[in-house]
Structure formats: structure tokens, C-alpha cells
Structure 1
Amino acid sequence: MSQTIPASKPATFDLFKRNRPFLTQEHEMFRSSLRKFLEREAVPNIEKWEEEQYTPREFYQKMGEQGFLCPQVAPEYGGLGLDFGFNMVLAEELSRVGVGGLASMSSSIIVPYLERYGTEEQKKKYLPKCVSGEITTAIGMTEPGIGSDLAGMRTTAVRDGDHYIINGQKTFISNGINAGLFFICVKTDPTATLAHKGISILLVEDGTPGFSCGRKLKKLGQHSTDTAELVFEDARVPVSNLLGEEGKGFYYLMDKLQQERIMIAIGALVVAEEMLKTTMTYVKERHAFGKPISSFQNTQFEMAEMATEISMAQTFVDDLTYRHMNGENVSTQVSMAKWSITEMARRMSVRCLQLHGGYGFMEEYAIARRYRDVAVMPIYGGTTEIMKNIIAKNLGM
């Protein structure tokens, strides 16, 4: 007598389940706590902060009180002395909700300059306040008419006894309204034979006479992140606020770009994942011609392609993160990840919005905000074109 063997049900592939040995139980406990905090303190306020184009400073203070800011800072300066994996978790969870990204930028991109190059006096004065959320930071590199060409900056700092006198203007400064401490790139030697050798970094406190925030700039997206102009008119800053050595600022910036671009790639990947998740839910629930949109072959092909791109990017980013945590120089591969993953996220925003149809154009659907927010990712932190130049140069071209 023959026996009918029931067909086995195909295993469901979980795109978002990742095996990352470099993240321990402690990292996941940190993630769980942070996620609960963001669900309580950020998610209910997203629409309000988007409309106001500002995330209140109190939000960052609450993050500091809960121990979520600057997890890598040494205990002697008020931190927990944790590894880069915690910074990765911080970036992922903030990108997941789509607000508060300045906390990651300040913690993982700007504060490390102070940790690496600051004097003991500077560290004791500022690091505990960065950890507690009493102050957040901003970095002033970009100037009107000068983007990626940092060597061409015009803001000057002239030595006058125990002070530098700063004159010039910065623009597109994230956290320009909120920040209490600004890392300002200046020309301390405008006559340097090689322009980049004349660049230094000065720590400028909010409220310094002669320093003011100009306009709060209106942007296409990322509305809850304030962006401003900075103006310096004979602003006097103590020489003791020089970060590291005079004339070494350009080298300091280059030294930290690997971590900055990894953080951007991590954020872009999470945004891509979130767009795909919300789109998967939508196409399963939305019906057309009497059946779910997800049953149409075109929809299935679109979802399959995007899922494949994300899966490959996940593997690449995780490998780079692990190698970065181990102190490897992976700047070439990081440049690859930065341009390819941010461009992938930008392409996906268009595809996911299209699958939402007319509803994707409505503000009540999250894809509309993601579509706006992702547009700048291939631009900040070094444009796609600059990333390709770096890769080509490192290939010996």
C-alpha cells in the first residue's frame, strides 16, 4: 500500500535575521533598552519634530541620562568605555525610527576627535558633558561655495596673544542650532604652500562673543534634524581651545573619515531595510483587481531584487564593521560601502514609493518621509563622486 507523503512547506527566508558574532548579549541588551526608550520618547513626537524642523535638546539630555550617548568614552571622563559595537547599535536604532540621528553623529563621529586629539584639560572639561547630554556637538567644515574641497576653505583664525580671532562663515551645519560645542575648521596659515597644511580645528562654545548661528536652513528632507549657518565676526577663542596641533586639522579629519563613513553606510542600510519592511506589509494588505498587490509578478520581482541587494549589503557592512573594530585600515572598502549602499537606499526609496502607488505620496505613510530623508545620503560625508575618486586612487589609477 503506497503512502502519500505530504509536501513540505517551503521554509520562509527571514531577510532581517543576521548572525553577527561580534555583537554580544550585552550589545543586544543595550539595543533592547534603547529601542524601548525611542518608542516612548521619540516615536510619538516624530510628526511634531518634523513640522518644527527641530529635535529639542531635552531629548538628547534624556538619552544621556539613560546612558545611551558616547558609549565609547572612557570611565574617567564619565563614559562606559564600550566598544564600537555599541555605537553601531546606537546608529541602527536611531536610523530605524528616523529621528535623533544627531545623537549618533555627535557620539560616534565628532566626539572621537576630542578623545583622540584633545588635551587632558579639554577632555575633562567637555567629555562628561557630552556623555550626560548636557551638550551636543557639531562640526563646521563646509562653507558657502566650498563643499568637498576642504583645502579651499576661507574661514581664518589669526593668532592674537592668547587668543585666535576667527572670521568667516560655515553652512549646512547639522545640529547648528542645538549644539553647545562646535569643532570649527579654520585656516591658521592662509599662506601655507600646500593649502591643507594650514588647516586647524578650534573648539568654540555656544555663546562665544562674535560667534552666532545664522539662518536655520530649510531642507528637502530630514526635517527633524536642524541645519544652520554659522557666522564668525572677530570671534575670540582661547589658544587653549586648539584641538591637537596647529596645522594638523586636515590630517585629523582624514583620520576619522573611515568611522564616519561606516556609520553612514550602517544608517543607510537600516533605512533601506525599514523601507522594504513597510513596503512588504503594504503590498500584502493592499488589494487591486481582486487580489493582493503582492501576488503580481512585477511586485514579486521588485521585492526579490531589493531583498537581494539588502542581503548582500548586510554581509559587506558586517564584515567591514568587524574589521574596523579590530583596528584594520579598510578605508577603500568603506568608500565602496558608503557610495554603493547610500545609492542603493536612494534607488529603493523610489521603487518602494512606486509600489505604494498614490498612497506613497501621502504624508501619513512613512515611505513619503523616507523618500525625502534618504536623498541626501549619497551627498553628506563625502559625495558618491568623491568616494569613487578615492577608490580609483587606491587602485593605483
Structure 2
Amino acid sequence: MGHHSQFPALLTYRYSCDIRVLRMMRETTMGNSVTQRHKKVLEQHSEAWMQRVLQYLTVCEPFTRSSVVLPVFTEPPLLPALPKPKWLLAVYARDVLGHLHEVKAKITSTFGSVLKMDSTKKVTKKLAGAAAGTAAWCTNVGNEHGQVLVSVLTTSEGQGLDAMAAGLMKCYREAGEAPPKVIYMDRDCCNQHGPCQVKAMFTEWDGLQVRLDIWHFMRWFAAGVTTEAHPLYGIFMARLSRSIFEWDPEGVAALRCAKEGELAAKRIGHISEEAVTTRITRRELVLHCRRRTRGVEETTRLIRSLISLFDSESGKDAVFIHFLFSPPPAGKPSDVQPPAELPSHWKDQLPPFQHEWIQHTLFKANPQTGKLEKVPQLKLWWYPPQPPLVHTQPPASPDHFFCRPLFLWMSQRMW
């Protein structure tokens, strides 16, 4: 192996590639493609060829002045043509195959005590050529450091993962690593009607705990909103995140001390606590501090308070559209009334974008029958709510920008 590593090139059928070029290829990243590497190699070859031509011509020049008969010099050779970028890519692939066992060892030597398993369709949508359409889901297992332990392609979500689980347990067993303690999932964490399917896959890990991933936990709350395009959706999810997470006080205190020292070095003068807080950016918090959960009791209290707030009158937008779905009233199924709507003759005569605000302004639901009744204080002109001057979120629809005033005219006896 040591003797083989001293060979300076990789041989192919017609050409040979220098090891230094292959090392350059290993650093290929976004914006640093094979074509870019080919241009750099071509530039280096051109410079080396130009230096040799200049050296040759410099040696020939004195003989043209000292001789009576001009000697005949041979033309310098042309610049050899380089192989195409596609050939460089093929040579790089052959070099990777030569280190396949080493690459496999590095990939299978990644472990962790806290795992997370999730599936996505984004990877399979990028499959092209003969592999296009052969898989629908990509399931990944990562550890607490963000490293991927294994990744498999399947035709359906959650199916055919037994072989992946067996291979993962085999890697832990052969490496002598302790089994993981927790695995986070998007489902099957609180199964009360039978054995957990995830534990059934990882039979060798008896002490494995299956828990719900926090991101999917937040997404479960999003299932109770009327639409994700609602103007209050972003505000609700941000406050939900603050109800679950908080910045680590020790990390924040250390960051404040560092920021105070930075401001003191600039000789700004007296530095108040408020001034230090305003100078700490969001990027600095993410870079130097970590977040932690608030605890079960505190999180439960804050989430209940948040849902109560958005389920009240504060959870409506400019056209009185509720943000959260209201739960049905308690009682027998026969007592539950469907949501009241405008009378059919009103809906037929008014454009659709006028229905919502007119229903909430001119009518009121009867608590006994559930039917809409006109408000007692009627007037001629009714005006829709105006859209806010400043929008913190994109509007859910353009309807409330085009609502028009309503002129209500009825016979005298109907008033």
C-alpha cells in the first residue's frame, strides 16, 4: 500500500491524470464545479507552455544576430489539448471507487445516543435519468450533532424500513457502541392501542424511548387553523415557539458580559442594561447561545394562554375571519347546529367577497335556533372594515381590499 501511494498519477486507457488534479477535484463544492477546475488546469498548462516557448525563443534570438546565414529554427510545439471536463469527472469517480472501503468506514462509524428519524419527498424529486420515479420517499436517521447515520429510498412512507433498522443495529453491535436512548419520530410515539411499531423494528434496543419530534408537535397545532395563509399564522407559530423554548440563561449572561466588554473597549461611556440588550443581534444569540425547553407545566400554561388568546376576538383578521377552528358545542349530536350562513337570496345578489363581513355585521346568530337574524339597530349605510395600514404578514386574500359599502333599502313595514 505504501509503495502504491507513491505513484504520482491515475492511469486510464488513453491518458493519465496527475494526483494533484485529483486532490483539487475532491474540493468540489457549489460554484466550484468540474468545469471550473478544468479552466484552472487549462490556465496552468497555458502558463507553463508559454514559459517554455519564451525560454526557447530567448535562446534562439542571439543566433539570429551573430550569423551571416540565418539558421533555421524548428517551430515550438503547439499546446497539447486537454481532455474534456467529462473525462475529469470520470477519473474522479474512479478515484473515489478506489477509496470506497475508506468512505464506507467513515460513514458507518457515525453513531449517537439521541436519534431522529424522518421522511421527505424533496430528495426523491431530484432523481433524474433511469432513477426518476423509482422512489417516493427518502427516510433519514440522524444523531444529536446533525450527522446522518443512514439514508434509504422507499416507494411509500414508513414501509420497508426493517432492513434499514437491522443494518443500523448491526453497526452499533459490531462497533461496540451503546444503544441509543431516545429516538424522535413524527408519529407512533403515544400508541395506546397496541405495541409501538418503531420499537418493534429496533428489537435489540430494549431501553429505547420513542418520543414526538418538537417540529411535528408544533405542526399538530397548525392543523387547527383555518388556513396557513391567514395573516395571523406567522405570529401564532412564532409565539408557539416562544411558549416551548427559551434561551439558556447562562449562555445569555455570558453573551451580555462579552457584549459589555466589547462596548467598553470602544469607550462609548456609561452602558445601561437596556443598551446592551439592544446591541445583541439575533445572529449572535443563535451563534453563541443554545435554546432549551421550558418544562411541562410552564409550556402547558403558555400554550393554553396562547390558544385562548387566538380563539377570542383577537384571533380575527380585518374581515372577521377566525384564525382557529372553534370546537363544536357540547351536547348530543342532534343538538349540534351547523354554522349559520347568509340567506340564499342574499348570497345570490351579493358578490362572494362581500358575504363574510356582511354576515358578521348585519346578522347575529340566534343562540336557541342557530339561525341568522338581523341586528335590531338597522341603518341605511353599512361600511366594511378597512384593511390595516401596516401589514406584518402577507394578506390571506385580496377580498378585504375590494369590499364596498352596502346600502340597505327595505319597505317601511320591514324596518
TM-score by length of 2: 0.22
Structure richer in helix, relative to its length:
1
For the pair shown, the structure with the greater C-alpha radius of gyration is 2
Structure of higher RCO (CA pairs closer than 8 Å, 6+ residues apart): 1
TM norm structure 1: 0.23
